[in-house]
């Protein structure tokens, strides 16, 4: 029995020793596995940091500015404020009526001009009808607008036609008178031709009788005087006939001259009337524009920045500003301040992310933008700190119809300047320290 107990005790002791030896042998294996795991993890982390990249961003702050110049709306002619329909800060649409001026005087001037223009147009129709020989038939609508002018012009039309007919009748009568004178002279010429022929024949018959004493020399002298008289009168009558023929031709031309002179006078008056019509038409355009300018409308969609006249009945002097309007656009323009150390990495066309401080970035997000211009030199702020001013244009104009963006709102701008690995980012402080190490005094 004692021998069995001692054997059992020896066996337990051997088992215990073997267990301890096994444990001791296993502990270095676990440590090595843990070490390997750590080394592998570190290697993978280094490999990932050498491959994985992060964006490098330049940050700046700024504000929203109008993307185009402030529109100054004024009145060239001025007037009295009759109605104010908008207020400062209000968003208005293009063509919307902002303010109206009293148009009494401008409409009266325009009406007077139009009445004069209608009168000239009716006169031109009358003169054109006289020049072309047509009837005087103006537009009935024009007659209704200016009945008195039409009546006067119609009377002038009839009087002018009667004047022309009278002048032509006088010329025709003068021609007939000259023709009658010519007929009388031609008849007298024929008579004198006969008398001259008879006197010559008688002289030729009587002259041989003187030698025989049948006729005296006195009779010969008498017959010669008769021949000379008839010949002289015939010459005078023939000269008178030539003058009468010229007078008849002149009288014939006089009839045509009367018509041409009448047409020339009429056409001269017509040309003058057309000139006056052109002048009145141009003046009418100016007066019509003056009437239109009494309605002050928005030239573009935008926001009312300032109303220079806020009282109905106020007097607007000619050429004075009335409303200042900040145009709305399909993009926003931002003035952004950039530190001088970051300006070397910026260039026009780079992408930017815009965050408006008035709208929570988590809720509304940001806007995409692009650098449009970079300042050529630094500017000092109120604290005498230098900065570069760049302009960034967004691709959107607001976050929705109920979230407008107006000039003056502040923004934070992140500009993507490139990418670098995580490892280079982590090593940057080490490399900087290495460059500065052992270099200080």
* Residues whose CB is less than 8 angstroms from the CB of residue 78 and which lie 6 or more positions away in sequence, other chains included: 101, 315, 316, 317, 318, 319, 320
Q: What is residue 321's predicted lDDT score, i.e. its pLDDT?
A: 87
| The CATH number of the domain covering residues in 71-101+295-325 | 2.40.50.100
Q: What is residue 69's predicted lDDT score, i.e. its pLDDT?
A: 65
Provide the pairing of β-strand 79-84 with 315-316.
Answer: antiparallel
Consecutive 10-residue averages of pLDDT for the chain (441 residues) = 54 58 56 74 72 72 77 83 86 88 85 86 86 81 81 83 81 79 78 76 73 72 77 80 78 78 86 89 83 85 84 85 78 85 86 88 85 88 88 79 77 80 61 57 50
Rounded CA-CA distance 54/61 in Å is 22
Q: What is residue 431's predicted lDDT score, i.e. its pLDDT?
A: 57
For 420, phi and psi rounded to 5 degrees?
-150, 160
The length of the chain is: 441
Instruction: Among 3.40.50.300, 2.60.40.420, 2.70.98.10, 2.40.30.170, name the CATH number for the domain at 329-436.
Output: 2.40.30.170
Q: Is the pTM of this model over 0.75?
A: no
| The CATH number of the domain covering residues in 106-292 | 1.20.1270
Rounded CA-CA distance 421/54 in Å is 6
Q: Where are the domains of the chain?
A: 2-51, 71-101+295-325, 106-292, 329-436
């Amino acid at each position: 029995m004692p021998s069995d107990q001692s054997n059992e005790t020896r066996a337990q002791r051997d088992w215990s020793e073997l267990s301890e030896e096994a444990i001791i042998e296993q502990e270095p294996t676990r440590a090595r596995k843990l070490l390997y795991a750590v080394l592998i993890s570190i290697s993978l982390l280094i490999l990932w940091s050498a491959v994985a990249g992060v964006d490098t961003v330049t940050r700046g702050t700024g504000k929203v500015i109008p993307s185009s110049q402030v529109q100054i709306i004024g009145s060239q002619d001025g007037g009295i404020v009759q109605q104010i329909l908008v207020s400062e800060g209000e968003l208005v649409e293009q063509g919307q009526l902002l303010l109206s001026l009293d148009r009494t005087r401008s409409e009266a001037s325009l009406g007077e001009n139009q009445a004069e223009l209608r009168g000239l147009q009716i006169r031109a129709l009358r003169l054109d009808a006289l020049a072309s020989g047509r009837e005087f038939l103006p537009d009935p609508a024009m007659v209704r607008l200016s009945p008195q002018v039409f009546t006067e012009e119609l009377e002038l039309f009839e009087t002018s036609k009667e004047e022309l007919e009278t002048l032509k009748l006088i010329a025709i009568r003068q021609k007939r008178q000259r023709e009658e004178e010519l007929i009388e002279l031609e008849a007298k010429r024929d008579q004198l031709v006969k008398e001259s022929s008879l006197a010559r024949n008688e002289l030729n018959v009587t002259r041989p009788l003187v030698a025989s004493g049948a006729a005296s020399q006195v009779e010969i002298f008498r017959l010669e005087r008769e021949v000379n008289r008839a010949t002289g009168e015939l010459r005078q009558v023939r000269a008178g006939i030539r003058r009468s023929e010229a007078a008849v031709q002149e009288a014939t031309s006089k009839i045509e001259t009367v018509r041409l002179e009448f047409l020339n006078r009429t056409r001269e008056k017509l040309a003058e009337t057309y000139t006056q019509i052109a002048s009145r038409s141009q003046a009418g355009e100016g007066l019509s524009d003056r009437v239109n300018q009494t309605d002050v409308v928005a030239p573009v969609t935008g926001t009312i920045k300032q109303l220079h006249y806020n009282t109905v009945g106020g007097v607007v002097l000619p050429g004075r500003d009335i409303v200042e309007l900040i145009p709305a656009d399909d993009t926003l323009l931002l003035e952004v301040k950039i530190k001088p150390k970051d300006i070397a990495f910026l260039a026009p066309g780079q992408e930017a992310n815009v965050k408006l401080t008035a709208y929570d970035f988590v809720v509304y997000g940001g806007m995409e933008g692009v650098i449009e211009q970079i300042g050529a030199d630094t500017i000092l702020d109120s604290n005498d700190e230098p900065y570069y001013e760049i302009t960034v244009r967004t691709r959107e104009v607001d976050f929705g119809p109920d979230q407008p963006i107006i000039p003056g709102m502040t923004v934070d701008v992140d500009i993507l300047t490139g990418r670098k690995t995580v490892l280079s980012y982590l090593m940057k402080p080490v490399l900087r320290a290495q460059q500065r190490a052992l270099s200080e005094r």
